[in-house]
Every structure is written in C-alpha cells, then in structure tokens.
Amino acid sequence: MASQCGDGEITADEESPSVVSHHAEAKKEVPWTPQPPFEILNKYASHVKRFRHGRIIRPAPETTAGRSPHQELSADSILELAKMRLLQHTSQRCGDSDSFKYDPHLSSESNKDVELTSCLLNAAEKFANQQFDCAEKLLRRCILLSSHADSPVERVVKFFAEAIHERVDIERGKIDLHKNIFHLEDTLFDYQPAILALEQKLPSAQVTQFTAIQAVLDGVGTARKIHLIDFGIKTGLHWSIMMQGLANRENYPLELLKITAVGTSKDRLDETGRRLSSFAESMNLPFLYKTVVSETKGLKKDSFEFDPDEVVAVYSGLCLWSQLAWPNQLREFLQFVKNLSPCVIVVNEIEASTNTSVFIDRFHGALPFTIATFDCLDTCLKGDTIYRKIVEDVFFRDMIRNIITAEDEERTFRHAKISFWKELFAEFEIVGTELSDSTLYQARLLVKGNAAWDSCTLDMNGNYMLIQSIVTGAKFSDDRSCQRSEERREVMDGSDRTAVTETWLKKHRLLYVGATRHPFLLGIRDGSVDFASFKRWLGQDYIFVRAFVPFIASLLLKAWKESDDDSDVDVILGGMAALNDEIAWFKKEASKWGVALNSVVPQQTNLDYCRFLESLTSPDVDYTLAITAFWVIEAVYQESFAHCLEDGSKTPEELKETCQRWGNDGFGQYCRALQNIANRRLEKASDDVLAKAEVNLLKVLEHEVEFWNMSHGV
C-alpha cells in the first residue's frame, strides 16, 4: 500500500492547499494485499527488542517545572495544560491576544498549541453560556492562528473552531443548519486506499482486527461449518486474515466458511465479496459469500440462509454507534442479533462520551478523543500524508461538525462509554466472555512490538478490552483515583466480595498474562525451549535471588514494626527461610548445567529489576507497598511454573524440578497467604498508598516480562 504512494507524490500533495487533489489520488485503484495473519504477529520476532517499557505504566503528568528549555509536549498534555491555564487566568477570557503568557520552558510550537487549545476551550464555554460575541472573537482567533495547521492539535482546534463558529451563526439565525448527508458506507468505499492504510497502520485497527479474529476463532472452536455474519464489512480485510488462520487448522479441516455481509449498497458488498472469494480460492478454502442488502433497521431473519449444521458468529465492527440516536432501533437490532443464536458476538466500538444533549459535555467528550486520534494518525500515517489528510478532512471534519452543530436526531455521530454498552448488552443477557490468554498475549505483543505505537495502551474493563491511543498522565491518575473508592467498595460492602488484588489482576490481565505465559515459559511447557536460554535464565535468576534476600529482610522489619497481625512475620519468615534452600538449589543446578555462577555478568534488565527491589527496602516505603510487590513477584513465578506442570504439558524431564520449585502446591499456598496479607492491608490503605501499590504491581509485571525476554534472548 505505502509503496503505491511514493514520497515524491506525498511531498507534492503536501504543498497543495486543497485536499480535493489528494482525494482523487487516493481513490485510484490499488491492489488488495491482505497481510497473512501470523505474518503480522511474526513481525514481533524482529521487533521484540523494542518490547520495552510500554505505556502501561504511564508517566507522571507533564508539567513545565524542571523541564529542559523548548520542550515539546504530547498532544494530551497540551490539553491538560490548556485547561489549567484557563482555570488560572479567568480574567483573560475574551480573546485578548496579549494576555497569553508564553512558557519559556516550552518550544514555540507547544506554546502555540497550548494557547490555541485554551482559546478553544474558552470559546466553547462562552458559547455554552450564550456569550456569542465573546465566543466569536475567540473562535476567529483560533481559526486565524491555526490556519496553517501544522500540528495535530492545531488541526483539531481548527475543525472544532470552524464548527462552533458555524453553530454561533445558526444560533443567531444567520444560516440554517446545513444537514450533513454523510453516508459512511459510500465514503468508506470511495476512499478505500485510505481506509486500507488505516487498517494496516493504526494500532487500534490492527489490535481490534486481531483480537476480533481470535475471539471469533475461539468462539467457533472446532466447528467445520462456520457462518460469519458481518454488519459493516468494509474492505473485508479482517476475514482474509482469518481465512489464513482457518486454512492452517490441522485436526478439524474446514468444510465451509460462509460470510453473510449486511449493508446498504449491493455493488459495494459484491466487490468485497469478489475479493474475499478470490482470496479464499487462492487458499483452496471452501467459501461462500452472501449479501443481505438492508439497513440494520427492520432486518428479517429469513433474509439470511442458515444451515442447521453450521455454527454462527456475529461481527459488528464500528456499526452500533450509528444507531445511538435511535435507542429503540438499537435495542431491536440487538434483539435481532440475539435471535440469530450466535456462538459469539464480537463488537468493536469507539469509546468516548458524545451521546449527550448537553453541548458542553459533548464538546469535552469529543475533544480529547479527537486530539488523541489525530496525534495517533500523525504518528502512524507519517509516510502517508495524503491518507491522513483524507481521514481527517473527510471523516473527522464531518464528525466534529455533526457533534457540534446538530441537535436531536440530526446528531448522528455519537459515541458511548463502555459502561453504557455493558448495561445495554446486559439487557439482552449478552455478557462479556473472557478473551483467551493467547488473544490477550497477542494483542499486547502487537502493540509492544511496534515502536510507532508507543502511545497505544491496552487495558481490560471486565472482559472488555480497551485500546487507547493516548492517555495523559493526569488522566491516568484521575481515572485511577475515581476507581479507587469503587475498588475498595467491592472489598468492603459488596456481597460478592472481590478483593483489591483480584480486581487489579482482572484489570491488568493483559500484562499478567504477558508475565505468566511468556514464550520462554510456553517453550518449557511444550518442550521446545532452547537450553541455552534456560541456562541464561538460571545464571541471571541466581543474581536476582541474592538481591531478593535484603528485600525480604527489609520487609520482615517493616512487618515487625507496622503490621497489625503477628502472623505476617511468620509468613514472611517462612519465605526468607526457603530462600536459603533456594540459593543452595541454584548452586547445585548451575553445576549440573555447567553454568559458572561466579562469572555470570548481570544484564541491564536484571540490574533494573534489582534496583527496583532495592528502592522498596527504604524505611520510607510503606509496608503495604512492599508486601504487595512481594506477593506479585512470588505469584508470577508460581503461576508461570505451575502452568508448565499442568496436564498436557511436555516439559522436558531435566526442567521438571525447576518447575516444581515454584509450581508446587505448597508454594501456591504461601502465595495465597501473601495475597491475603496484601488484601488486608490494601483494604485499609489510603488512596495514595492504594494508587502507589497498583503502580508497583504494574512495575513488577513489566520487570517480569523483561526478565523473561532477557532469558529468552530477545
């Protein structure tokens, strides 16, 4: 795809003031080159070196204090700073150009972005308060200053300012609401190369595609006849990826893959069908493609062809939002889907809060999400400026206009938060099912394996996966503190008493799976492990375990001084005593494998982890924090090695003793005792300690993943 659009062309187009020429260019037919499924995942092998600290542990909010001169700010930090500026300078409210004080620590670009954003925020507030003159003055300033739109923030400000300006004119009766006749399906089709570029380069698109495919594959299991119903098939690229997964299925050869695509344009559906059919043919995959030409409203079951032997799966990719303006219709649609009796329904939606009739709330719901998206587009479509412009100009400009200028049913662009969707699905007894470990692991690997996706984070909300383009440090801490009381409430007064640590493990399951189902461990479990890797692990872990001794000693001291329960000391002492035996075991094992422990040089990853342990030995560190970290460190090994001993494992004889050491039931009981102590302490901890303990849990998990990476030799 990218090679279809060389740099020269892009440069020329970049200089063009109009986007129309880009559109003409981008509409050119380009070959459809689906990526083989696991080739995308195989990319990890070469990228895995970048499998470094991701964004799961977000940085502290960026502030300008202590910053080097002329620093660039991330787009989301600009938004936070702009909000702060606006709050601080309440007197400078009506577009007075001299009132904005440039921060000498920031680059001129960042200063300009902050100024523009606070001007826009101010204008939106003024508009919401019906101070149209003042709003107009501010908006004119935004439009003027963002006319060159160099940065993603400027482009967002420009689109929002233009839309609010139009809204001011509507309110004043100067113009009528110009109805947006935006037909998503047509637009997607008209700009297919841009959409394909998006699908292939945007982390959220790739992760959702893979997760969706894997969830469908898990859902249909070993079925030989699979019927996929897709409401919103677009390019159909995702199914070509799945076809390759199905073609590789060994024990349960596929008898038929049937896809029924639902949409309003027969031509467009047929074209997608032709591509998928030829792709299936090239793979010798038994394939049938059907179409149902209809709006989602008023769908009839008998428009679909069902076979009693087949297993039905439903995919709804960015499709439900378009019905949010008509809640009854949305409910009818869900009932319809439910009546199809699918084995799995995979839904992919944008999470934002724009489904409200209150203008200012909608504005604040749409702005961060748009800034994050533009920032992400800027990074991921760097070499495809034409496509980026199309996506911004065609899709987002219309979306912003609609969110800002329209009301009631005219307002068709809506997004809801995950809690809304969960409640809605629950009405139909549609509940989230757990994503398999391999799905979670692959999703995380996909994000971590691509340096350009540094700003993408994955989180779990129950069984729902959240993919966020960018989350600010500030937002991170806000979100966490909002959740804190909820987490605690679950512990204290819920009848279904879920402890804090369990809630966290669910919330951070992706990372937990990454730490406990690493390919190094899976290699031990299936017998394919490279013994050189095992020896590397042995030597490095010996060094780690030695550093563990002072950590436990300091923990013992903290327990003795601070604990409200004497038995804590006994549990920790048990762990300490076992370490003596463990160190002796390492020595014996090392001599068995010919590893000279004295000459092992600690690797940087190991040193980093040991330094983290050391930081927890300080008397300033709260007992609750240290015991929580201790529990996670032990629990990861317990869960990891126990998995290598479960039924079906092919762990080589010579590694069984290692797995037994941490995978045995006694060690499991000891870990549960540690977890109980952690829960008891966390239940009573202050919000501050609770927040720090959660961050430490994430840090331990990250260190553990890195430790396995190091051992694995990546």
Q: Which residues bind ligand NSP (CB under 6 A)?
A: 541, 544-545, 548, 633-634, 637, 704, 707
CB of 546 to ligand NSP, least distance (A): 10
Nearer to ligand NSP, 413 or 548 (CB): 548
CB of 515 to ligand NSP, least distance (A): 9
Nearer to ligand NSP, 303 or 669 (CB): 669
CB of 692 to ligand NSP, least distance (A): 20
Q: Is 704 a catalytic residue?
A: yes
Residues facing 466 on adjacent strands = 459
Nearer to ligand NSP, 558 or 703 (CB): 703
- Closest Cα to residue 167, out of 380, 401, 370? 401
In SS3 terms, 231-251 reads as: ECCCCCHHHHHHHHHHHCCCC
Please give the full DSSP string across 244-279, using - where no structure is assigned: HHHHT--SS--SEEEEEEEES-HHHHHHHHHHHHHH
Nearer to ligand NSP, 212 or 673 (CB): 673
Whole-number Å distance between alpha carbons of 288 and 118: 54
At CB < 8 A and 24+ separation, what contacts does 98-105 make? Answer: 103/64, 104/69, 105/64, 105/65, 105/67, 105/68, 105/69, 105/70, 105/71
In SS3 terms, 412-475 reads as: CCCCECHHHHHHHHHHCCCCCCCCCHHHHHHHHHHHHCCHHHCCCEEEEECCEEEEECCCCHHH
Nearer to ligand NSP, 293 or 545 (CB): 545
| Closest-approach residue to ligand NSP (CB) | 637
- Per the CB < 8 A criterion, the answer to whether 703 and 608 are in contact is yes
User: Which tokens belong to 228?
Assistant: 């996929």
Q: Are strands 311-317 and 344-348 parallel, antiparallel or unpaired?
A: parallel
CB of 707 to ligand NSP, least distance (A): 4
Q: Point out the catalytic residue in the list 136, 634, 639, 704.
A: 704
CB of 29 to ligand NSP, least distance (A): 53
- Per the CB < 8 A criterion, the answer to whether 530 and 523 are in contact is yes
Cβ neighbours around 426 below 10 Å, total: 11
User: Which tokens belong to 517?
Assistant: 């189902």
Identity of residue 272: T
Whole-number Å distance between alpha carbons of 353 and 150: 27
Nearer to ligand NSP, 128 or 576 (CB): 576
- In sequence order, which residues have a C-beta less than 8 Å from that of residue 254 and are 6 or more positions away? 224, 225, 226, 246, 247, 285, 286
Nearer to ligand NSP, 110 or 640 (CB): 640
CB of 678 to ligand NSP, least distance (A): 15
CB of 597 to ligand NSP, least distance (A): 14
Cβ neighbours around 98 below 10 Å, total: 6
CB of 540 to ligand NSP, least distance (A): 8
Identity of residue 41: L
Nearer to ligand NSP, 314 or 644 (CB): 644
- Closest Cα to residue 239, out of 251, 223, 257, 253? 257
List the catalytic residues. Answer: 704
